[in-house]
Structure 1
Amino acid sequence: MISNRKLGHLEQVMEKVNSHAKTWNIVTISRIKGPLSAEIIRQALDIIQLRHTRLNSRIIYSKNGLRFQTEGTTKIPLRVVKHFHDQQWQEVVREEMNQEIDSSKCLLRAVLVNIQSDSHVNYLIITGHHAVGDGLSSIRLQSEILTYCEKIVAGDLNNSVVSLLPLPSIEELLPPETKGLKGKIVSTLFFLQVAFKKLFYPPETLNFEKYAPISKRRCDIVHRQLDQKVTQQLIHRCRQEKTTVNSALCAAMMFAVASKIKKGNRKKIRMNCLTAIDLRKRLETKINEHHMAVLVSSIMGSYTIKTNTSFWELAREVKQTIETSIQRGDIFKTILVSRHMINFCLAYPKQLAATVLLSNIGKVNIPNNYGEFELEEISFTSSQSLYAGMLTSHTATFRGKMLLNFVFSEPSISRDKMEELVNNCMLYILHVCQFKVEQNLTSV
């Protein structure tokens, strides 16, 4: 199917970051048990490339701007890596996060990691251009690939592949009030409001341990997990405290940063938190859950943390801020001004975007059994070397277990400092799960 079109504004932003800031791609990691081979994966990748028009596209520069074009697109690249130890998958993820996608050829690539110490354990690592996918659609794509792997092994694969109709740009799916002259006025006022807060009420951040221009920055990852018991404790405590897991994670991240930057007898710290929001349930047009697309926005909340601010007090404030912002339609306005925000980050690389950033897709509703293959773990991350001096987490819950991928930009933050921050963040989570006491900055 040929479906060429001009990139929407948000898609253009993703390509601009990919080309100017090395990468801003979505990396999905699956731990799979079973006799998975490169031959099986190769066939599955060929099928999903036919099924998804955007995965069978490349990005070209034309006189009318950036365009998706299907003609001339290469096959999805696949490479095989053999590692002895289980945890060496993280080395591959680091490589993938720091290697830009050649969007003039293809918008997705895959790595199959065979673990030599256990011949039935494999990792499938998919890196996708952020213009054609977000965390949720990339997770579902992994499930789709494994479904085809199951059919290939069972000999139950039909010759015909039904292609999904491609989606328009996200701007076309937004509510009517975001379009035309009214949309321009609304987005301009919103951008001025954001700029005013940034200029006159700047948040405190981790700052730079060492400054490097954008082209010299690298992205790294620290992986952590909460087992089923602790994950359920966290969910239960959030219900008791009348808040959400998402808001509790934001609070833990801000507390971890606040405890790091707090000096002397200071009584308050001003911070902000950038939270990713899924738009699928908030658009008038119903979106097929299998569609590959970037259907995510974000909300920026500002908070003042005092030494006696309780953990759950902050979590409830985050929840309220997100709910209010959604009701105001800020998630749609953010899409409209995204290119201005990214242009600012690229033009002023010493400015820090936020204190913390959380992208939490919550419970992953995909199967774990695919015939001879068992999906044991699945998580995702985004290669955000552009965002220096910020604590960032990409979180998913699968089979009752929460998997957290903390990413950071080097050398603005060293690995030692990030591991200390992550450990503090996890410690706050464990404390509020296991003890019925209020946590504040002086408690941990």
Structure 2
Amino acid sequence: MTTHHTSKYENSLKNRKLVPIEQGMEIANRYSGTYNVVTISRITGPLTEEIVRKALDLVQSRHPRLNSRIVGELDSLRFETEETQTIPLRVLQERQLNDIVLEQINSGFDSSKGLVRFVFLPPEKDAQTSYLIGTIHHAITDGLSSIQLHSEILTYCQKIASRDPLNPGTSLKPLPLLYDLVPASMKGLRGMLSIMLFVWHLRFKKLWYRPETLSFEKCVPLDSRHCGWIRRQLDETLTQQIVNRCKQEKTTVQTAICAAMMFAVGKKIAMGNERDVRVSCHSYVDLRRRLSPVVHPENLGVLVSAAISFHTLKPRTSFWNLARDVRKQLESQLNNSDIFVPFLILKTMIELILKDCDRAPATVALTNVGRVNIPSIYGDFKLEEISYLAGLATVGGVLTAAVTTFEGKMTLNFMFSEPSISGETAEILVDSLISCLIESSKGDCAWQNPDTPKSTDELAEIAK
């Protein structure tokens, strides 16, 4: 009897209505074809299409949401697990990685068929390096769980290649409704009051600070926008230098990157004029450890929220003082239940962005999973690099970064909506903030000091 009830309950979680945050992601997918999470793995070893295909079949049998599709009209969206297609796998030879990633982040899903797809870029000739690019609908994943999924796929690849007995393991149980996992203070009448107070307070801060954003270089309809991508990787020495400096300055890598982004964009906004610039930063936060019960990264789901900080850049604002101010504001939000509000109202936030799509919602935004805690060795296969990004063509005028640190190296993927920000402008902004990070890792710098960019050779070395 208990088994019967459990099975019935689990089936009700597999096939159910989308909660608002999931609805918001599907609305964005239908209107703008973006909000996908793309994860890129660089692998050495004798990986083949056949091995990858078998591994994808195994993970699909284990994860309920990889067996899901989204059906219904916008006011009645549902997950269904019947008639979902096998995970598509495309094998592309003699294609540039950059072109493949851009194609993936700018291609939406026909959600009625499935919510995930993969591309395999096999080794060239006698080389041993291949790429696995996974694209997952943001309604069922976030950066952390998509990275964990790649590790699971490589674990299966190892077993398949070594001819070990194949057992996909026990199928994961579907997560409870996401809103059942938030604190009691965010539920019912008390939760509604908390949300109203948060929204009122946020509106007051926006009116008080009036944060500036990048001007749109060109305004076009949503269906004419596409997401640009710039990648930078810092070597182990520089990454460790930044980490050590952050500890010395009593702040974090997350807030240091936020500060560098605001410095770079603030200089562009000021256009050489010595004046104050008011800015805002959206820092995306993993909620898994803050939910009850705690959710493991192997469980696919969109379990993120946003902490929003406001700052004024004055002509001699210190880099590290700004980073510490970001940390202070983030910790204040993380230490109370307010951090759950953006998670609860994200559908409304996305609808507002779509409605007022020619206005940037923030100056900069950052998502950082920090040090990636997965193995690098899988039998004959070695995971050399892994990083992620999201398709954000909808969100014009905002420079966004997705950051991972793996095997001691920091990878920064920058996303921006073109043509509101041109590729040329984005390259200048990225070079400026990387220079700022390098300079600050050795000491301190002020916001409106003359730019001292690294040489072309140095930046080219970083960009490898």
TM-score normalised over the length of structure 1:
0.96
Match of 1:34 in 2: 45
2:383 to 375, 384, 390: 375
Q: 426, 441, 448: which one pairs with 1:441?
A: 448
Contact 1:83 1:114 in 2 (8 A): no
Partner of 1:7: 18
One-letter amino acid of the counterpart of residue 78, structure 1: L
Q: Match of 2:339, SS?
A: helix
Residues 1:150 and 2:161 aligned together: no
For residues 47-62 of structure 1, what are the structure 2 equivalents within 5 Å? 47-61=58-72
Which residue of 2 is the match for residue 248 of structure 1?
A: 256
What does residue 272 of structure 1 align with? Answer: 280
CA distance in 1, matches of 2:330, 2:369: 15
C-alpha contact (below 8 Å) 1:50/1:161 kept by paired residues: no
| Alignment correspondent of 2:408 | 400
Pair 1:18-2:29 in alignment = yes
Q: Which amino acid aligns with 2:82?
A: E
Give the conservation status (yes or no) of the 8 Å contact 2:27–2:74: no
Equivalent AA in structure 1 for residue 206 of structure 2: K
Q: Give me the whole-angstrom Cα distance separating, in 2, the residues matched to 1:390 and 1:64.
A: 29
- Structure 1 residue aligned with 2:111, among 92, 100, 103? 103
Aligned position for 1:348: 356
What is the deviation of 1:124?
0.2
1:111-150 counterparts in 2 under 5 A? 111-116=119-124, 119-150=127-158
Distance in 2 (alpha carbons) for counterparts of 1:258 and 1:319: 19
**Structure 2 partner of 1:358:** 366
What is the alpha-carbon distance in structure 1 between the residues aligned to residue 225 and residue 76 of structure 2?
Answer: 28
Q: Report the counterpart of residue 44 of structure 1 in structure 2.
A: 55
AA matched with 2:259: A
Q: Encode CA deviations 1:114-171: one digit per residue, 9 max, x unaligned.
A: 2426531100000001111000000010000000000001111334541000102321
Residues 356 and 392, structure 1, Cα contact 8 Å, conserved in 2: yes
**Is the counterpart of residue 178 in structure 1 residue 186 in structure 2?**
yes
Q: CA deviation at 1:265?
A: 4.3
Please state how far the C-alpha of 1:280 moved relative to its aligned partner. 1.2
Aligned-pair CA distance for 1:317: 0.2
Structure 1: segments with no counterpart, 5+ residues: none
> Which whole-Å CA distance do the structure 2 matches of 1:83 and 1:221 have between them?
20
Q: Deviations over 1:240-289 (max 9, x none)?
A: 00000000000000000011111454431000000010111111212233
* Aligned pairs for 1:58-97 within 5 A: 58-61=69-72, 65-83=76-94, 88-97=96-105
Instruction: Determine the C-alpha separation between the residues in 2 that align with 1:225 and 1:159.
Output: 36
- Would the aligned equivalents of 1:299 and 1:325 in 2 still touch at CA under 8 Å? yes
2:373 alignment partner AA: N
* Partner AA of 1:44 in structure 2: A
Describe the SS at the equivalent of 2:369: strand
Is 1:286 equivalent to 2:306 in the alignment?
A: no
Would you say 1:327 and 2:338 are equivalent positions? Answer: no
* Structure 1 Cα separation of the partners of residues 335 and 227 of structure 2: 34
Counterpart-to-counterpart distance in 2, 1:246 and 1:127:
25
Closer, same or farther: CA 63–20 of 1 in aligned 2, 3 Å = closer
Instruction: Report the alpha carbon displacement of residue 200 of structure 1 after superposing the two structures with TM.
Output: 5.4
3-state SS of 2:335 partner: helix
Distance 2:74 2:447 in 1: 56
Q: CA deviation at 1:37?
A: 1.0
Q: Partners of 1:431 and 1:277 in 2: how far apart?
A: 27
**Contact 1:301 1:318 (8 Å CA) reproduced:** yes
Cα distance, 1:298–1:118 mapped onto 2, change above 3 Å: farther
The match for 1:306 is: 314
8 Å Cα contact 1:267-1:307 kept in structure 2: yes
State the Cα distance separating 1:24 from its structure 2 match. 0.3
Distance 1:68 1:20, change over 3 A: same
Letter in 1 for 2:61: L
Distance 1:41 1:330, change over 3 A: same
Output one character per residue of 1:299-318: Cα deviation in whole Å (capped at 9) or x when no partner.
11110010110000000000
**Closer/same/farther in 2, CA of residues 250 and 158 from structure 1, 3 Å limit:** same
Separation of aligned partners in 2, 1:414 and 1:314? 27
| Length-normalised TM-score, structure 2 | 0.92
Residue deviations 1:221-244 (CA, integer Å, cap 9, x gap): 000010000000000000000000
| Residue identity in the other structure for 1:184 | M
- Name the aligned partner's letter for residue 235 of structure 1: V
- Say which of 214, 223, 240 aligns to 2:231: 223
Q: Using the alignment, how far apart are the partners of 2:358 and 2:197 within structure 1?
A: 25
Determine the C-alpha separation between the residues in 2 that align with 1:276 and 1:437: 26
- Across the aligned residues of Structure 1 and Structure 2, the Cα RMSD in angstroms comes to 1.6
Q: State yes or no: 1:411 paired with 2:419.
A: yes
Instruction: Give the letter for the 2:330 counterpart.
Output: I
Residue identity matched to 2:217:
E
2:170 is the alignment partner of 1:162? yes
Distance 1:28 1:382 in 2: 9
Of 150-159 and 127-136, deviating more is: 150-159
Amino acid at match of 2:299: H
Deviation at 1:340, TM superposition (A): 1.7
Q: Is the 8 A contact 1:253 1:356 kept in 2?
A: yes
Matched, 1:233 2:241: yes
